[in-house]
Structure 1
């Protein structure tokens, strides 16, 4: 595919890709999305990672600032809260006039999703921080990854200490924008022992233990108050 060459056409194409994801694909995947967006701009997380040793001299890209997190309240089809990043798949990695292969990934090639049974603030804060980590440190996530955090997942009383990255069997794993393919990485909160179990036994084995036999979708919902599963 050919990226528009003139600056005006490129900007319009860029905005169309963004709108296609947030206004077309996300409602199809998650139901009604709140209009409000929690932006990276003004949070200080980008600046924090830029000051870290992992930044390796990276400079702030203005394209990062309007990226953020969208929230979808529960729906009859998906009776839980959904938090999804908006921006990692923006085509900020390409230039006007560039030729993209047919199998191109849009932007970083993915967006991240967290589900919770109740409305929470911590998923938004975690996703913003992880977006900044991706953008500044150029360390990308992928299906099957494990990501420990400092302290606890919520910053409060919970046994969960990190995420595993899985494919949610209840929805498509990819969608397509004019700028390329986008993968959906679902993040599930787990304990340190559960992360170690996934490393030794595989992610599918862990998901089976996390799921309620009567309702397999529970494996993809993070419940900070839960006990560690029997391993």
Structure 2
């Protein structure tokens, strides 16, 4: 199929793909989604990365500002908080009239997810910062990646200071939009030693230890390091 050819029709199609993800796919994957959206334009994350040595763009795309993070509160099926990015899979790589391959990635090709046991602001801030990094520095993440942060994940007392990128076995690894496929990348908070263990022994072995310790794919900022 082709993307709509006129600017007006393309903009409507773009918005429809966005709504299909947030209002149809996300509730199926995560349960009820709160109405509030935490957007990139509410932070200085885009501007901060634009001023960094890693920036690959000269100016910010106005379409990026409305991208952000959605929140799903605990439910009987998923008794924990879920934070998920909204926008990286927007069809930002397409232009009006271009051919759309449903098997190709939509936009950057993924959205990022963090699960926590308690409601918190730090997952929102981390996800917004990483979205800005993706967009401004044009560097993508993938399953198996590791991402250290400065200090701790929460900015406070925590032994976790990085993420590993994995596929959550409790959900599909991808979902489909008219604009293409979207992968779900689950970010799990880890310590430096756990991150090093995954590098030397493989991500599957680390996740097996986290599952055995009872934390699994949910980030517990106050936990101790698992036995390695």
| TM-score normalised over the length of structure 1 | 0.97
Distance 1:57 1:106, change over 3 A: closer
Contact 1:175 1:181 in 2 (8 A): yes
Contact 2:56 2:138 in 1 (8 A): no
Q: Which runs of 5+ in 2 are unaligned?
A: none
Residue by residue over 1:207-226, the C-alpha shift from the partner in whole angstroms, topping out at 9 and shown as x without a partner, is 1100147x6xx310000000
Contact 1:133 1:139 in 2 (8 A): yes
Q: Partners of 2:27 and 2:100 in 1: how far apart?
A: 27
| TM-score normalised over the length of structure 2 | 0.98
Q: How many angstroms does 1:103 deviate by?
A: 1.7
Q: How many angstroms does 1:102 deviate by?
A: 3.7
Residue in 2 aligned with 1:70?
Answer: 70
Q: Partners of 2:101 and 2:94 in 1: how far apart?
A: 12
Residue in 2 aligned with 1:47?
Answer: 47
Residue in 2 aligned with 1:133?
Answer: 133
- SS across alignment from 2:54: helix
Q: How many angstroms does 1:57 deviate by?
A: 4.3
Residue in 1 aligned with 2:216?
Answer: 219
Q: How many angstroms does 1:47 deviate by?
A: 0.4
Contact 2:102 2:181 in 1 (8 A): no
Q: How many angstroms does 1:99 deviate by?
A: 1.0
Instruction: Work out whether 1:230 is the aligned partner of 2:194.
Output: no
Deviates more, 1:21-30 or 1:218-227: 218-227
Residue in 2 aligned with 1:2?
Answer: 2
Residue in 1 aligned with 2:59?
Answer: 59
Residue by residue over 1:11-51, the C-alpha shift from the partner in whole angstroms, topping out at 9 and shown as x without a partner, is 11001100000000000000000000000003111000001
Q: Partners of 1:191 and 1:58 in 2: how far apart?
A: 35
Q: How many angstroms does 1:58 deviate by?
A: 2.9
Residue in 2 aligned with 1:119?
Answer: 119
Q: Partners of 1:6 and 1:137 in 2: how far apart?
A: 30
Q: Which runs of 5+ in 1 are unaligned?
A: none
